[in-house]
Amino acid sequence: MNELKDTVEFEKITLPLMKVAVSERIKLGSLSLDRMRLDGYRDYFMDSMVYNLSTYLIGNKVHEYPVDDIKYPADWKEAFKERWFPEFLKRRYPVRYKYESTVIHHYHLCPHVEAPWGRGEHIEFLTMMDEEYHSLNGTKTK
């Protein structure tokens, strides 16, 4: 049977320090660099780094509509019952749900307005109301 030793012997060894990098290419197009902001922080829980790149775009709210009765399980136990219980158990122990209402906001955003080629059609798009946009594109609104 092998027994563990109380001491371990090492010889001197030199290991190189190696540089490691992560990069991502983001196409800027006509986005203005002077308003961009890069924030980063260490997420100790996930043992990772998080970087956020943010900027401002010109936009206009063109429509908003309420959504009633968003339904979801009341807590994690109810979600477990909904996902894994067979139907006969769900009938005996029904899943409890929470219901909420919210408002969905629809915006038109345009990154081209500040660019030299930002022509009038970009401004028209930003100011076009939802119904006009969908009638031009043959799509329907809710």
Domain count, the chain: 1
Report if residue 128 sits inside a domain: yes
First CA to last CA across the chain, in angstroms? 75
What is the span of the domain harbouring residue 57? 33-137
Which pLDDT belongs to residue 136? Answer: 59
Structural contact between residues 119 and 107, judged by C-beta atoms closer than 8 angstroms? no
Q: Is 65 part of any domain?
A: yes
> What is the rounded distance in angstroms from the CA atom of residue 37 to the CA atom of residue 31?
12
Return the pLDDT at 42.
93
Residue 64 lies in a domain: yes
In a domain, residue 19? The reply is: no
In a domain, 51, yes or no: yes
Q: Rounded CA gap, 125 and 107, in Å?
A: 11
Residue 60 lies in a domain: yes
Q: Answer whether residue 7 is part of any domain.
A: no
Concatenating the DSSP letter of every residue in the chain gives -----S----------------------TT--GGG-EEEEEEETTTTEEEEEEE---EEEEEEEEEEEEEEEESSHHHHHHHHHS-HHHHHHSPPPEEEEEEEEEEEEEETTTTSTT--HHHHHHHH--HHHHHHHHT----
**Residue-by-residue pLDDT tens, the chain, 142 positions:** 566 667 767 787 777 888 877 777 877 776 767 778 889 999 999 899 998 888 777 777 888 889 888 999 999 999 999 999 999 999 999 999 999 999 988 887 776 655 544 556 666 666 666 566 656 556 555 5
Residue 56 lies in a domain: yes
